[in-house]
């Protein structure tokens, strides 16, 4: 099996596993009174990640994988697992908050406000770079910055509202 295809299949499997975990956690959070924010941009985010993966599959499925970039991708997966483990049932690909729940201040959240988005931003560039797609990496990195600007604005609003129930709802 070509290395590029193997890497992309692993990335697709990782994304699908995240979606399944997210659905489970979302259901639990909503059952406990969770409130969703930013639902309008969620389909755009899913489409972005889908196009990112499909584009690489079309362009580089048969390419060798750069070992240094593969190490970066593996390190990013370790960071992602740390984020998911840190948030536990609070982790989801959607923006779901429980009113009155304090912000996470442990794990990577001790050091930065949005570690998952940092990991994803680097990953959006690192995977195509591992496949020799430099221009693709730059284009999708820049597009992702736009997606993250919308996403982080919505999440910050949600976290502020959860901490202060007198603020506006979604």
With a CB cutoff of 8 Å and minimum separation 6, the contacts of 71 are none
Could you tell me the fold of the domain covering 3-163? 1.20.120
The pLDDT value given to residue 103 = 83
For residue 131, what pLDDT band results from cuts at 50, 70 and 90? very high
| C-alpha–C-alpha distance, residues 103 and 101, integer Å | 7
SS3 (DSSP) at 97: strand
| C-alpha–C-alpha distance, residues 136 and 114, integer Å | 24
- Percentage with pLDDT > 70 across the chain: 96
The pLDDT value given to residue 105 = 86
The answer to whether 124 and 63 have CB atoms below 8 angstroms apart is no
| C-alpha–C-alpha distance, residues 139 and 100, integer Å | 39
The pLDDT value given to residue 168 = 54
Annotated domain spans of the chain: 3-163
| C-alpha–C-alpha distance, residues 7 and 9, integer Å | 5
pLDDT for 122 beyond 70: yes
For residue 166, what pLDDT band results from cuts at 50, 70 and 90? low
Please write the tens of the pLDDT for every residue from 56-110: 999 999 999 999 999 999 999 999 999 999 999 999 999 999 888 888 888 889 9
| C-alpha–C-alpha distance, residues 146 and 161, integer Å | 23
């Amino acid at each position: 099996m070509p290395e590029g295809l193997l890497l992309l299949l692993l990335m697709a499997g990782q994304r699908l596993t995240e979606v399944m975990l997210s659905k489970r956690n979302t259901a639990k959070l909503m059952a406990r009174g969770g409130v969703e924010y930013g639902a309008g941009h969620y389909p755009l985010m899913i489409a972005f990640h889908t196009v990112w993966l499909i584009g690489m599959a079309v362009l580089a499925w048969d390419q060798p994988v750069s070992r240094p970039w593969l190490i970066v991708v593996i390190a990013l997966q370790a960071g992602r697992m740390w984020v998911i483990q840190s948030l536990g049932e609070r982790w989801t690909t959607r923006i779901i908050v429980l009113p009155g729940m304090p912000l996470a201040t442990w794990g990577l959240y001790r050091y930065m406000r949005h570690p998952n988005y940092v990991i994803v931003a680097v990953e959006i560039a690192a995977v195509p770079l591992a496949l020799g797609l430099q221009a693709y990496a730059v284009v999708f990195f820049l597009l992702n910055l736009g997606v993250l600007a919308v996403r982080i604005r919505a999440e910050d609003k949600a976290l502020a509202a959860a901490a202060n129930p007198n603020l506006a709802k979604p």
